[in-house]
Amino acid sequence: MLNPVNLLRQLGSRMVEGIWRLGYATRFFGAVLLNSGAALRRYPLTLREIYFSGVLSLIIIMVSGLFVGLVLGLQGYEILQRYGSAEQLGTMVALSLLRELGPVVAALLFASRAGSAITAEIGLMKATEQLKAMDMMAVDPVARVVVPRFWGGVIAMPILATLFSAMGIFGGWLIGVVAIGVDDGSFWSQMQASVEFGHDVWNGLVKSFVFGAAVALIAVFEGYDSEPTAEGVSRAITRTVVTSALAILALDFVLTSFMFRGTS
């Protein structure tokens, strides 16, 4: 039955649960940072996680970057040649990739490729009581399992975003210069004239670092907090992808409004 009091009660309990989870996640983040020192000294564990979340995401990141660049080249040329400024194609491709598309799309792909894997792994470890077993052996599961995965993601993400942007610019060059025939020299020189390393490239790197930290934290937290059942793990993976995507887009808006506020 549709009972307004019941609805209100459900809404209230949802909100309280959300705030409770937020507080728990913050405390968890604190624990991850506190345990970072000890875990990073055992760097082979982190290296292994960089391999799993970074190296294994290489193919998807590079291929998607290439295709995004190809599309940007086609669409950008289509619009720019209406104003007779097709030489600006390089500028358009490079700026849109470096500032927005590179960090954001790479982070979205990273969340669905590596974030979901991290959540599944930790969730399954919890469901099969491996985490409890570690605790019994006086091995802190946060330091042994969670922290290497977190830092692996944080380190891999900027590298992946950089590769995404570089491949995208290469794709834009392929379409613009090789296929359509925009002048090679003006493509690069116009790009260099308007892309500034300290402003555009660096802010893109900062963005991807923040996204990497957000995605990695959400992934390890959802895995660690998942219900230890098959259904619970699957729900945790879904939450990882959804929450990461929302967090990336919201953070992107906040960071962009700080970094690129009307100047230049």
Collapsing DSSP to helix, strand or coil, 92 comes out as helix
Distance, CA of 47 to CA of 155 (rounded, Å) = 10
Pick the binder of another protein from 104, 107, 118, 159 (CB under 8 A): 159
Distance, CA of 121 to CA of 49 (rounded, Å) = 12
Do 95 and 200 contact (CB within 8 A), yes or no? yes
Closest CA to 251 of 165, 164, 157: 157
Distance, CA of 208 to CA of 214 (rounded, Å) = 10
CB of 58 to another protein, least distance (A): 7
The tokens for 119 are: 């959540």
Between 72 and 101, how does the x/- string for binding to another protein read (CB under 8 A)? ----------------------x---x---
Pick the binder of another protein from 16, 19, 58, 250 (CB under 8 A): 58
Distance, CA of 246 to CA of 240 (rounded, Å) = 10
What separation in angstroms does the CA of 167 have from each of 67, 124, 258? 9, 35, 27
Distance, CA of 206 to CA of 194 (rounded, Å) = 19
Which 178-237 positions form the footprint of another protein (CB under 8 A)? 188, 191-193, 195-198, 200-201, 205
Distance, CA of 187 to CA of 38 (rounded, Å) = 49
CB of 61 to another protein, least distance (A): 11
Asked if 261 touches another protein (CB under 8 A), the answer is: no
Pick the binder of another protein from 13, 26, 42, 51 (CB under 8 A): 51
Pick the binder of another protein from 86, 146, 169, 233 (CB under 8 A): 169
CB of 171 to another protein, least distance (A): 13
Asked if 156 touches another protein (CB under 8 A), the answer is: yes
Pick the binder of another protein from 47, 59, 133, 249 (CB under 8 A): 47
Asked if 42 touches another protein (CB under 8 A), the answer is: no
- Number of neighbouring beta carbons within 10 Å of residue 176: 28
Q: Which is nearer to another protein, 59 or 179 (CB)?
A: 59
CB of 97 to another protein, least distance (A): 9
Q: Which stretch binds another protein (CB under 8 A): 54-62, 73-81, 124-132, 208-216?
A: 54-62
Pick the binder of another protein from 48, 78, 79, 181 (CB under 8 A): 48
What separation in angstroms does the CA of 26 have from each of 19, 59, 67? 11, 33, 37
Distance, CA of 255 to CA of 248 (rounded, Å) = 10
> For binding to another protein (CB under 8 A), which residues are involved?
44, 47-48, 50-51, 54-55, 58, 94, 98, 156, 158-160, 162-163, 165-167, 169, 188, 191-193, 195-198, 200-201, 205, 263-264
